[in-house]
Amino acid sequence: MQENLSHCNSELISRYYDGELGQAERSRVESHILVCPSCNKILEDLKGISDQYGVHLTHQSVGIDTQETEKHVLDRLRREKAPWWAKAKDTFLSKKILFSATATAGVALLLIAVLQAPVPDSPSAIVTSVSGDVSSIIILEAPETRQTILWFNERPEGQGL
Amino acid sequence: MYQKKELEKSLNNGLNSLPEEARTIFILRELEGLSYDEIAAQLNLRKGTVSSRLFYARQRLKEFLERDQGEE
């Protein structure tokens, strides 16, 4: 003989109503409903909701696009439960990120091309001293632009060191 | 007398008042006739979650319809 339910369980009644219980649980709920007015009322309410929606609503009469709603929820749930690499892939393939990534890659390639431009083998200018007497030379190196700046001071003719 | 058109509007409003996930589960159960296992598989949820969301949806609809139809 099946043991009766020790307390009311609304969700269990709902599962019973939907035929989602096994034989043993179903028997226990059936026995309980016979003697429990509140659970009997819950069952009646569940039937009432199903009857109202079953009779009056069809896919066409429902004011919302059920297929679109289902698709939307399915997509959202799949995204939430997807592994991190799938999320990363989706995020990267979204138009906004893809555009930004492409633009950044383009700028980076341009910079690399500029920085790796061949350094001229010969100087771009040759400075010669008129008197051949130079008192000081300053050499400035600019490694970022790969330029060498040569600044020298030419002593006027007739002046000694 | 609560007219058919008004009743349909009320039922629609009740359905739209539900959170998206609960509404989808309710629709899959009531209109599509899917089992808890089938809904759980489709929505990638646990069966227990389907059961509790469906119960919650029905409770909310019952309360909504009582309130809405009582106001008419």
Given this model, what pLDDT does residue A9 score? 84
Residue of B nearest to A15 (CA): B51
| Smallest CA–CA distance from A79 into chain B, residue | B44
Q: Report B:47-66 residues touching A (Cβ under 8 A).
A: 51-52, 54-55, 58-59, 61-62, 65
pLDDT at B33 exceeding the cut of 70: yes
Secondary structure in 3-state letters for chain A: CCCCCCCCCHHHHHHHHCCCCCHHHHHHHHHHHHHCHHHHHHHHHHHHHHHHHHHHCCCCCCCCCHHHHHHHHHHHHHHHHCCHHHHHHHHHHCHHHHHHHHHHHHHHHHHHHHHCCCCCCCCCCCCCCCCCCEEEEEEEEECCCCEEEEEEEECCCCCCC
Res A107: pLDDT: 87
Q: Quick one: how far is CA B63 from the chain centroid?
A: 11
User: Distance (Å) from the C-alpha of residue A1 to the closest C-alpha of chain B?
Assistant: 27
Nearest to B52 among A11, A45, A50 (CB): A11
CB–CB contact B27 A18 (8 Å): no
Give the total number of structural domains in chain B. Answer: 1
Classify the complex by whether its ipTM is higher than 0.90, answering yes or no: no
**Residue B57 belongs to domain with CATH number:** 1.10.10.10
- Residues near A102 by Cβ (< 8 Å), separated by ≥ 6? none
| Chain B residues in contact with A48 (beta carbon < 8 A) | 62
Q: How many CB pairs under 8 A join A and B?
A: 82
| Structure token pair of residue A43 | 């069952």
Percent of chain B with pLDDT over 70: 94
Say what the pLDDT of residue A18 is.
Answer: 93
% residues pLDDT > 90 (chain B): 56
pTM above 0.90, yes or no: no
pLDDT of residue B46: 95
Please give the structure tokens belonging to residue B69.
């139809």
Helix, strand, or coil (residue B1): coil
Closest Cα in chain B, distance from residue A30 (Å): 18
Residue B25's closest chain A neighbor by CA?
A70
Q: Does pLDDT of B22 surpass 90?
A: yes
In this structure, is the dihedral angle defined by the CA atoms of residues A70, A14, A51 and B11, taken in order, positive or negative?
A: negative
- How many residues are present in chain A? 161
Domain that holds residue B31: 4-71
Closest chain B residue to A74, measured at CA: B43
Question: A85 in the Ramachandran plot: left (φ > 0), alpha (ψ -120 to 50) or beta?
Answer: alpha
Res B52: pLDDT:
94
pLDDT tens for chain A, 161 residues: list them.
345 556 778 889 999 999 999 999 999 999 999 999 999 999 999 999 988 888 766 655 555 555 666 666 666 666 666 667 776 766 666 666 667 778 888 888 888 887 776 665 555 555 566 666 666 666 666 666 666 666 666 666 655 44
Q: Which of B50, B54, B55 is nearest to B39 (CA)?
A: B50
Task: Report the pLDDT value the prediction gives residue A142, as an integer from 0 to 100.
Answer: 66
